[in-house]
Each structure stands twice: as C-alpha cells, then as structure tokens.
Structure 1
Amino acid sequence: MRPIKSLLWLTILFVITFTLWIPPLCIKLPFSKFYYVYNKEKDISEKAELLNSRRYNVSLAYFSSLHAESSQQFYHNMEKLGHLDLVVAVITVKRKDGTLGYLTQSVARMDKLLKEDKHFQRKYLFICNVDQDVNSHEEVKKLEKYIPAHYRFKNITRIPHTSPHISLYLQQNHFTTYQKETIDYMFCLEMAYSMNPEYVLLMEDDTLPLPMALDVVNFKLKWLTLFRNPPMTNFAYIKLYYPPKWQGFANELRRILELVAIGMVGAGCFVAVFAFRKKTSLQYLYFIFGAVYFILVVLLLDRQNVLELRRIASQFYSLNISPGCCTPAMFYPRWVIPQLLSYLAGENNRHHTDIAIYDFITSKNLTAYQIEPNLFVHIGMYTSIHQNSRKDPQEFIFSMY
C-alpha cells in the first residue's frame, strides 16, 4: 500500500500545482508561459501606460517636495570636495511625446537614491542634454532647477580643450542617427570623467534604478577587489541592465546547466521529504519526480521570474561575463574611460554604441560583467530613435513604489 499511497500523493501534488497554483500565478507574471495566453497585448500596453503615468505623478510630487536651491547646493558642495567617489550622468534627448515623463522619473529616482546612499560618500548627479535644440527639451528646463544640467551643444567648456574629441562634440551634422548616438554617449562619459570620479554611472533617460541598486554595486565592488582571488581591479565595466526578454531559459549551455541544477535541488528535496530515514525502493522515483516537478515549475514561470528570488540580499546577485547588447545603465571605473573614448571616436560611424563598446573590450582582451537580476528597469516603451516604435509591453509591467 505504501508505494500506491506515495504515487497518489505525488499525483495529487502535480495536479494541484499545475492546475490550481501555477496558471493563476503565471497570469500575473510577465514572461511566464501563460502570460500572453490570458492577457491581450492591448490590455498589457494600457496597463504599462497607466503604471508609467503613476510613476510620473509620484516623481512630480517628489520634486515638488524639494527645495530647489538646497537640492542644487547638495551637488555643488559635493563637486567642491574634489575627488569624487561616483558621478552619475543621465543622458537625454527630447522625445516626440514629452508627456511620457521618462527623464523626470529617472532623475527623481536617482536623486533620491544618491541622497540616501551611505556607500558612496562623494557623489554628483547631472543631466546630460544632447539635444541639438537646447531650448526645446522642456523636461530638462524644469528639472535643472533641482539638478545640475550640462549641454553638448551649449556649455561644452567643462571638457578640457586639450581633449582630442572636442571637434566631434562640436559637430552639428552626423552621417547617421547611430553616429550621433555614439558621440552623445562619448560626450556625457567624458563630461563625467572630467569631474575626477573613481567611478562613473552612465544611464539613459528611460531607466530607473531599483532601491537596492547602489547597495548591490557596492557589495560587488568589494567582492571584486577584496574577496575575489586574485582580486579583479581592472574590470572594464559592469552592466546593470540587460533586456529581460533575453534572460529567459534558452538552448544555451549555461542556461541548460541552470535547469539541471534546479532539477537536482528539487530531486534532493523530494527524497528528503518523502524518503527521509527510509530505505525504500521508491527513492529513485522520488528523485525523478522531484527533478521533473521543479524543472516544469521554473520553465512555466521562466527564468526572469525565478531570478527575482535573488533580490533577497546583495550576496545573492550574480556577476556574469557581459554580453554585447545594450547600454541603458553602465558602471565604469575611471581607468578605462580614456581608452574607451579613443576607441569609440574611431568607431562612431560603423556600429551601434553598445556593439562598439563590446568590440572595445574584446579587442583589448578586457573583462566586463553583467549583474543578474537587473539593478535597473527600463521604462522606455517608446524609443527616442524610432519614434513610432513600441517595445513589448510586458517588459514594462512592474511597480516601483
């Protein structure tokens, strides 16, 4: 009777899990296998726009609560201290639809985070406006009362005239949109570098830092420089955001090994629960059932949602070798910036900025990392390059408050 009872309990567990628990859970979780089965893309898009409006209103309320002169003075005082620990630059360009409020949200979140942070004692935040019509970016004009702003096509004097890239920054006409994008990126990076920081965080105006972002970065820096054997002091950068749509389980060796590892954990749990201190021929059955059960659960939830369990503590975030794509939030040590600028100056007409940066590290045989899960979220459902292009709306279903 014992084998029959065991099989019965295992069957009941499977039925309850995959009919009563997993489907309702997956309906609410973007990137799960059932999300688009039960949610229409139009409804998801409307929900994403509603969440964006709420975040924008919260950000406006945040700035309303600030004293403009005191906020500016905070960063001016930091700048006077000299050698800074961290400079954060928010690169921005005017969007066709100015009501989206992406820049306002990004600056509000980062300003709040920096002013509360205890790890980077000397820090500076500025808006880097790279729009050619410097007076048309209404969001910058509203925010520069609270946060320092610098302009590529206005006050370029902050960058030393000895810089070999001045002629690029003064260039008004560009062969392609992507060439301007790369030169804009160079300008903001060099502007931040000119303030003599230990590290630079360059973020795009449609990304938001999560509450633990600076805590995790600080922990990973300590791990790289103090606890890693041998210490890694010359990494090129740490990527703080990578598109969630590419973070799922896939036909890649590393992701397959992750699934196998999860299956082994599940197998061990089932043996421990159902066959603890019992020598039974069913141990192998429990092992197989446990592995299959856990693998099916995580496959249905998909890897993006499983990664969220790592947010319990800074120690659980992982550092992986950086992929090539995407620059919404990049963390650079000071030493690499002059070399990167020189490389981008020669590549700005041939590749997208992210690919050029990746080519730089591969050509120089440098190590760069990506943190998982992401420390930033992307809010730019509508891009600044392709004005009428909308991204997959499920990427933008999240709550920050």
Structure 2
Amino acid sequence: MGLMKILLWQTILFVCTFTLIIYPICIKLPYSKFYYVFNKEDSVSLKAERLNAERHDKSLSYFASLQAESSKLFYVGMENSNHLDLVVAIISVKRKDGTLGYLTQAVARMDKLLKKDVYFKTKFLFVCNVDQNPNNHEEAKKLEKYIPVKYRFGNATGKMNASPYNSLYQKQNNFNTYQKETIDYMFCLEMAHSMNPDYVLMMEDDTLPLPMSLEVLSFKLKWLALFRNPPMKTFAYIKLYYPPKWQGFANEFKRILEVVAIGALGASCFVFLFASRGKRSVQNLYFVIGAVYFILIALFLDRQNVLELRRMTAQFYSLNISPGCCTPAMFYQKWVIPDLLKYLSFANSKYHTDIAIHSFITSQNLTAYQIEPNLFVHIGMYTSIHVNTRKDPQEFIFNMY
C-alpha cells in the first residue's frame, strides 16, 4: 500500500473515530474532555440528585423486603465470637438535610454485600452513631432494627468504658469540627478493633461499596501475602476510595509513563494488524499512527474512564502507595490500630483526620496502599461539615454495576 493510501485510510479512521464514536461518548461521560462543554454544572447536579433519590428508594425497598429480626441476628450471633475475619464500621452523624438518605444507602449496599459474601467467612457490620444527640439521628434509629448500632455518646458498651481514651470520647465541648471528626473516627475504629477481627473496614456514611469490593480485597490480600516479591504481610491499610478528580492524567512522571505505555500498546496493535509483514518504513509509520491514535483516545476520555477497563477482573486492579488525602473507605489490618489510636489521641487537634493518619504512616515508615480503580463510590455531594456546600456534581454521576 502506498504512502498516500495509508495516510488517506488513517485520516478516515481518525475522523470517524473521533467524530462518530469518541465525541458522542465524551459528551455523556463524566471527567472526559467534553463533558462540561455540553453539560452545565447545574443540570449535572440535578441529575446527581435524581440518581441519589432513585438509589434511596431502592434502599428503602431493600429494607422493606427484609425480616428485621432475622436480619439483625445475622450479625448479633457473630458479635461475641472469639474471632472475626472482618468488621465493618459505618461512621455516621445526623445531617442537616435528613432527606438525602446517605446512611440508608450505605447500610443497604454493605448489608447486601456482606450477606452474599463468600470471601470473609465471619463478619460484623454496625453503624457507629457519633452524633452528640444520638436519639435525634432518626435515620440511624430507623436502621437499628435491621443491623447493630453503637453509640459514642449516652450508650457506650463496657468494652469502650474500659478504653484508655474514654475520657476523650465522652468529652463534648471545646472541639473544633475537624478535631471532633478525628475523635469520632478513633472511637469507631477502636469499637471495631475491640471485636478482635483480622481486618477492619471503616466507611463514612456517604460511601457505597461496588459489587466486586470484597472479592477484589480478598484477591489482593492473597497476592500481597503470597505473590508479591518479597511477600508483604505487614501493610497498615488499603485506601479504597480516592477522589476521581485527582485520578486524571497529569504532569507527573508516573502518569506520563501511563500515557506512553498506552501509546506503545496501541502502536504495537497497529503494526500487528496492518503491517506485520510490511517493510520497516511502513511498520514505523503505522507505529507512529497507532501511538497517536490511542494516546488521543486516552486523553479525550481521561484516565478516570480508562481505569474503568480494569474492572473486568480482580487481577487487573492495581495497588499504589497511598496518598495523604481522604478517608471515606479504609481497610485496616488489626495490628496497626492500637498504635494508630495512640497517635491520633495526640494529633487530633493538629491535623484533619486523613492527614493525621498519613502523618502516622510516614512517621512510622509503614507501608499503606491505595487501590485503583476505586472499590467505593462517594455519594455525599453535600457534606455534613460544610452546610449547603456542593461538591463537583460529575463525581456523583455513576452506575452501581
């Protein structure tokens, strides 16, 4: 095939791909380059609110389908077990707008996931109500007939009364918002740890697990223990959620390498498909065209959407060294929790919770991971701390698979 024919054919391919396929996809795909060009932020916010209302309705229907007593007995029977594989704590506080139903969604998704799970044999789920007026947290009170609820204020268990941090937990005044958030986190983490599990999963009440979450975690634990060279059994935690807005392609060495790798893969595919038996000059031309073609597709879709391809199987998920930000969903090994609690008891007034946890990891020279793509999604477009403050709504346009 002559040079002009190759260039003509490739030009047609580029035009068709980027006008008939990539362009329409990007218009509907959050984080793509064209998403906010054709979608106004207010309309995206309305869509996110509608999706949240639909999820809430499905969650209410889920609980309506359960027999309350048997649902709660699933966990109560395990609470006094000598050994648990996993304890899941959902940290919750009453929100100003109680109609959002974040906690109801989080409990419904995790309850359904745990009851179907075959990877962690013994497990316990509880809502950790850290509201200073716990009886006013009506959403948590409604859920108490389906799953256990623990309280920081007014109804602590005997185990927590014996905690060395109990005086800190019972103190209600002289805390700024972020300091209270850290002490709330401490309480729920210690409550979970007091049940003697191998692992503790800490969730905030505005996060939802994706269906493969526990399967992927189980696989990664086996991989770390058996197949990593050398085996890594003593990591501190795995961060299960990191804000998608910070997961895009950027001027960072590792992210640039990813773009180069995508280009190299695409270039190899082009050479194999179109010029495997051609002259070296023709192969080189197809290599360059293929690299440009795949790099442009990746950049238009952006990295958040390219990562979705990894959801095909648990083996495709990756572990990276954990960044400092964010605690919506954290998976801890039990051995690290006592030292972490001790550190947070002194650092709670210095840092936000996520930075305090990361500071502990770095000060102790411990290994912690972040998994990609996320195993949890964030639904808290409106936070419990900054009233009426709306986050970027494109983060909340997603499918639950």
- Normalising to structure 2: TM-score of the pair? 0.98
Partner in structure 1 of residue 250 of structure 2? 250
* Corresponding residue pairs, total: 401
Displacement of 1:310 after TM fit? 0.1
Partner in structure 2 of residue 27 of structure 1? 27
Matched residue type, 1:9:
W
Partner in structure 2 of residue 41 of structure 1? 41
Structure 2 CA distance for aligned equivalents of residues 366 and 112 of structure 1: 33
Structure 1 CA distance for aligned equivalents of residues 246 and 213 of structure 2: 21
Matched residue type, 2:267:
A
Partner in structure 1 of residue 195 of structure 2? 195
Structure 1 CA distance for aligned equivalents of residues 365 and 263 of structure 2: 35
Does residue 16 (structure 1) correspond to residue 16 (structure 2)? The answer is: yes
Does residue 79 (structure 1) correspond to residue 92 (structure 2)? The answer is: no
Partner in structure 2 of residue 66 of structure 1? 66
Displacement of 1:279 after TM fit? 2.0
Matched residue type, 2:139:
E
Partner in structure 2 of residue 271 of structure 1? 271
Structure 2 CA distance for aligned equivalents of residues 292 and 238 of structure 1: 35
Map 1:314-333 to 2 at 5 A: 314-333=314-333
Displacement of 1:277 after TM fit? 1.4
Which range moves more in the overlay, 163-172 or 210-219? 163-172
Partner in structure 2 of residue 222 of structure 1? 222
Matched residue type, 1:384:
S
Structure 2: gaps of 5 or more residues: none
Per-residue deviation, residues 132-189 of structure 1 (Å, max 9, x unmatched): 0111111011000001000100222243444221111011113310000000000000
Does residue 170 (structure 1) correspond to residue 178 (structure 2)? The answer is: no
Partners of 2:160 and 2:191 within 8 A in 1: no
Structure 1 CA distance for aligned equivalents of residues 333 and 342 of structure 2: 16
Structure 1 CA distance for aligned equivalents of residues 167 and 203 of structure 2: 24
Structure 1: gaps of 5 or more residues: none
Partner in structure 2 of residue 295 of structure 1? 295
Secondary structure (helix, strand or coil) at the match of 2:99 reads helix
Partner in structure 1 of residue 304 of structure 2? 304
Secondary structure (helix, strand or coil) at the match of 1:100 reads coil
Structure 2 CA distance for aligned equivalents of residues 281 and 223 of structure 1: 43
Partners of 1:91 and 1:203 within 8 A in 2: yes
Matched residue type, 1:328:
P
Matched residue type, 2:6:
S
| Identical residues among aligned pairs (%) | 73
RMSD over aligned Cα, in angstroms?
Answer: 1.0
Structure 1 CA distance for aligned equivalents of residues 299 and 102 of structure 2: 33
Which contiguous aligned blocks of 4+ residues in structure 1 show a shift greater than 6 angstroms? none
Distance 1:239 1:158, change over 3 A: farther
Structure 1 CA distance for aligned equivalents of residues 14 and 315 of structure 2: 33
Partners of 1:90 and 1:203 within 8 A in 2: yes
Structure 1 CA distance for aligned equivalents of residues 48 and 99 of structure 2: 14
Per-residue deviation, residues 331-351 of structure 1 (Å, max 9, x unmatched): 000000000000000000110
Partners of 2:200 and 2:334 within 8 A in 1: yes
Map 1:112-127 to 2 at 5 A: 112-127=112-127
Partners of 1:92 and 1:131 within 8 A in 2: yes
Matched residue type, 1:355:
I
Matched residue type, 1:254:
K
Displacement of 1:266 after TM fit? 0.9
- Normalising to structure 1: TM-score of the pair? 0.98
Partners of 2:276 and 2:283 within 8 A in 1: no
Per-residue deviation, residues 269-313 of structure 1 (Å, max 9, x unmatched): 111112121225222111111111111110000000000000000
Which range moves more in the overlay, 236-245 or 12-21? 12-21
